Amino acid sequence: MSRHPRLEEFQMDTKLSDRSGRRIPGKYFLYNEDTGEILGRTPQRWGKILIFYTIFYAVLIALFGICMVTFLQHFINPRVPRLQQEYSVIGNSPGLGFRPLPADVRSTLIWYKGTGYESYRYWEEQLIDFLSVYKKKGQTAGAGQNIFNCDFQHLPPPGKVCDVDIRRLDPCIDENHFSFHKSSPCIFLKLNRIYGWRPEFYDIQNLPQDMPVDLQMHIKNITNFNRDYANMVWVSCHGETPADKENIGPIRYLPFPGFPGYFYPYENAEGYLSPLVAIHLQRPRTGIVINIECRAWAKNIKYDRRERLGVVHFELMIE
């Protein structure tokens, strides 16, 4: 059946075309007069999409803000750890460390020739570097501004830290080569830092039975002079075997055999420096390895020789 020529002409003329007679499909995509669509959607559909994405991104931003506030308040605090003491990896019983450390991290042997500077130079430089923040407190952030001269009667105010005067450690000072050149070296001890940890001191009338007799005598003598000295984390060192006990010789503790209680608790304050005990091995036997064990004494410091809790071990050999 043939088409009506006039109807066919009418249908062709209603289609948009350019001057060459080709159809322009993009014109309907931008705006369709028949349906009212703009870019392929009606204003009603565009309104629904706009409302949906407005609500979606508003909820997303709100959730992100809540997460950030919670994270910043409870997880990111440069001064206070989130997990403390028994809930932390290091626990609530501080370990004891020594300096200088050997170059090999697997070793605990301090070895040198007593008269040769090049032989003990490494150990001296290790101690100089370790004590640099004590000697030049300006190297520590905030140090010098909030240091307080503490004693048992004058505890540090909030925000202040106690001073550590290494001049009281003489002869264990760098000007004296830490006595390495005299075959009577100084070894430094420190307690590991645990945030918020407070030592529980021993009653001088009820000291542990396994505490060395000479330390017990020292505690009783010094507390008779000043009762405040009972507030100490005590330290003792000895040879591990009977032969080591004989070879280690006399030991002097500087400034005293323990860490004063007014340095605790550690609260990560600016400029805080851990207290030190220098053990001066005055006449150790040369030419033989001496096994030495040092222990910290407080009621809440666990002691386990096998697990190395509350104790530190090192060896000394002077040729």
> Per mean pLDDT, which range of 5-19, 107-121, 173-187, 193-207 is the poorest?
5-19
Rounded to whole angstroms, how far apart are CA atoms 310 and 298? 9
Q: Is pLDDT at 69 greater than 90 in this prediction?
A: no
Nearest one of 216, 296, 211, 214 to 261, comparing CA atoms: 296
CA angle 159, 234, 80 (to 5 degrees): 30
195 phi, psi to nearest 5 deg = -60, 130
129 phi, psi to nearest 5 deg = -65, -40
143, 286: one domain: yes
Nearest one of 52, 271, 318 to 148, comparing CA atoms: 271
Strand order in the sheet with 96-99: 96-99, 186-191, 277-281, 251-254
pLDDT in tens, 262-318: 999 888 888 889 999 999 999 999 999 999 999 999 999 999 888 788 899 999 999
241, 107: one domain: yes
| The model's pTM | 0.74
136, 41: one domain: no
Could you say which of 59, 76, 93 is where a domain stops?
76
The tokens of 77 are what?
């605090």
55, 178: one domain: no
> Over the range 58-72, which residues count as b (16 or more CB within 10 Å of their CB) and which as e?
eeeeeeeeeeeeeee
28, 111: one domain: no
- pLDDT at residue number 259: 95
190, 238: one domain: yes
61, 89: one domain: no
The tokens of 159 are what?
């925000």
271 phi, psi to nearest 5 deg = 85, 5
The tokens of 283 are what?
């006449």
36, 157: one domain: no
Cα 96 to Cα 158, 232, 256: the distances in Å are 26, 15, 16
pLDDT band at 160 (very low <50, low <70, confident <90, very high): confident
- pLDDT at residue number 270: 82
Helix (H, G, I), strand (E, B) or coil at 278: strand
Q: Which helix (H) or strand (E) holds 97?
A: strand 96-99
pLDDT band at 137 (very low <50, low <70, confident <90, very high): low
CB atoms within 10 A of CB 7: 9
pLDDT in tens, 80-97: 666 666 666 667 788 899
128, 246: one domain: yes
Q: Determine contact, residues 279/178, Cβ cutoff 8 Å.
A: no
Instruction: Look at the chain and report how many structural domains it folds into.
Output: 2
Q: Is pLDDT at 12 greater than 80 in this prediction?
A: no
| CATH code (residue 232) | 2.60.40.1660
Domain extent for 2 = 1-76
Helix extents (H) in 176-284:
213-225, 242-248
- pLDDT at residue number 15: 46
172, 259: one domain: yes
Could you say which of 23, 54, 76 is where a domain stops?
76
202, 298: one domain: yes
65, 90: one domain: no
What is the overall mean pLDDT for the chain? 84
Nearest one of 238, 253, 258, 242 to 316, comparing CA atoms: 238
Could you say which of 42, 76, 110 is where a domain stops?
76
